[in-house]
Amino acid sequence: MSPSKTHRLAPAPLAPPLEATAVIPAESAPRLAAEVQVMDTLRVGLDDGYAFTKLVLPNNQLVAIPSRARIGQAGVTWIEANKQRVFEYSTEGSIYSVGKVDGDSTRFTGYPVSGLHRCIVQHALQQASLGGRSVHVVSGLPVSAFYFSDGQQRSGAIAQKRDTLKIAVEPRSSGGMYDRGRPPVSVAFHEVIPEALAAWYDQVIDVKDGEASLNTARVETPVAVVDIGGRTTDYVVVENQGILHRSSGSLSKGMLDVHSQVSRAIQKQFNLESVSEQRVAHAVNRQTVRLHGHEHDISDIVKEAKLELVTQLHAETRRQLGLGEELDTIIFVGGGSAALASDIADWFPNQQIAEQPAFANARGMLKYLQYVCEEPVSCHAH
């Protein structure tokens, strides 16, 4: 091979210098360059909700998957890798199936520190094509899980959440003949912040051409964030860069309550013993349910379930925020804000629904990681 057909690559961080001086054949350069790039640590905003797990990456890539998994093997061999819909992961000796499965409920208190959660997060990272990468992550806890009622941080619960994502999760082979294996995504750094406060960071940090600046007008005025999620609805009021804890907290109500009520109503109306969680989610979205080969209109059931949730949310919002006359802006975020947009449209004259509200928390978490958070820099962090 002639010397003109060779490239010298920059050393990968932490790689032994011998590799830096090795002469690399030209045809191998792209693959090796990709490997060097893989060595870079990537920053990820992770909104690990009970209904959906959302990621925001620095290149503005958005990823959302249902927080749906169950303990145990999938019991399916996928012949073609690109048709695979259920993925297996193992962590701490247990196997979980993630993807298009009838999932175990995520609505239990320990979910954010469970193996179920860890495998769903790993799957979301895999779906973002981050296999083999090391990532730095900021995720969240509901306000009431992050703070005691007096405003002190629940340091034990926060540390537990922080540590759980660092426990290894291994993707398992699908067993198909074309399966090439999936390297795991490892979480090298994980910080936790209150979920609704993440959306506040999203609001006050403006990013243009990679440069961050503070939105001083918004920072100086009292702002409330209402985060309507799957299991909880979070309230946080920030004034003069401090949280008003008397007006902040969480209500254990969210969009999954709509799913529960619709499920009960379908069982009752059609005399069914059970309805799968996937079928209910589909029914809520489409307002129809397919049974015995026929589509049935259930729009009244969905409307009634939403109305019940909206009534509860409205009462709690009034209790937390009053009429909002002392607030400059009330910002609605979370997947529930998008799903209930027409129902919550006229609660306050000074309200707004955030841009892509389902991703507002994850965006804020990424901004917090990029521009605010103390972070170990172990190699190139993007």
Partner 1 sequence: MKLVPGYEYQLDLSLDLRVSLEAVLIQRLRQQPKTRHQEWLRRLLVLGFREECKSLQQTVGQTIRPASDTGFANWLTQEPKASSANEVVTEKPKQSAVAVGLVNQKPLAALQKVLGEQVA
Contacts to partner 1 by CB under 8 A: 12-18, 35, 38-39, 41, 58, 132-134, 136, 147, 151-153, 155, 158, 163, 166-168, 183-184, 186-189, 193-194, 197, 200-201, 204-205, 210-212, 214, 238, 241-243, 368, 370-382
Q: In the bound complex, what is the minimum distance in angstroms from residue 26's beta carbon to partner 1?
A: 21
Least Cα distance to 328 among 218, 207, 196 occurs for: 218
Q: Which is nearer to partner 1, 32 or 338 (CB)?
A: 32
Contact predicate 195/142, CB 8 Å: yes
Question: What value does the CA radius of gyration of the chain take, rounded to a whole number of Å?
Answer: 23
Q: Which is nearer to partner 1, 346 or 374 (CB)?
A: 374
Q: In the bound complex, what is the minimum distance in angstroms from residue 199's beta carbon to partner 1?
A: 13
Q: Which is nearer to partner 1, 10 or 293 (CB)?
A: 10
Which residue matches tokens 């175990």? 104
Contact predicate 375/369, CB 8 Å: yes
Q: Which is nearer to partner 1, 78 or 201 (CB)?
A: 201
Q: In the bound complex, what is the minimum distance in angstroms from residue 161's beta carbon to partner 1?
A: 13
Q: Which is nearer to partner 1, 62 or 244 (CB)?
A: 244
Sign of CA dihedral 281, 71, 250, 146: negative
Q: Which is nearer to partner 1, 236 or 255 (CB)?
A: 236
Q: In the bound complex, what is the minimum distance in angstroms from residue 14's beta carbon to partner 1?
A: 6
What is the C-alpha to C-alpha distance for residues 111 and 97, in angstroms, rounded to an integer?
A: 16
Q: In the bound complex, what is the minimum distance in angstroms from residue 133's beta carbon to partner 1?
A: 8
Q: In the bound complex, what is the minimum distance in angstroms from residue 294's beta carbon to partner 1?
A: 51
What is the C-alpha to C-alpha distance for residues 234 and 227, in angstroms, rounded to an integer?
A: 5
What is the C-alpha to C-alpha distance for residues 229 and 100, in angstroms, rounded to an integer?
A: 21
Q: In the bound complex, what is the minimum distance in angstroms from residue 11's beta carbon to partner 1?
A: 11
- Which uninterrupted H or E stretch holds 291? strand 288-291
Q: Which is nearer to partner 1, 170 or 308 (CB)?
A: 170
Q: Helix (H, G, I), strand (E, B), or coil: what is residue 44?
A: strand
Contacts of 55 (CB under 8 A, 6+ apart): 44, 45, 46, 47, 61, 62, 63, 64, 124, 125, 128, 362
Q: Dig out the tokens for 362 from the structure.
A: 């994850």
Sign of CA dihedral 318, 319, 325, 330: negative
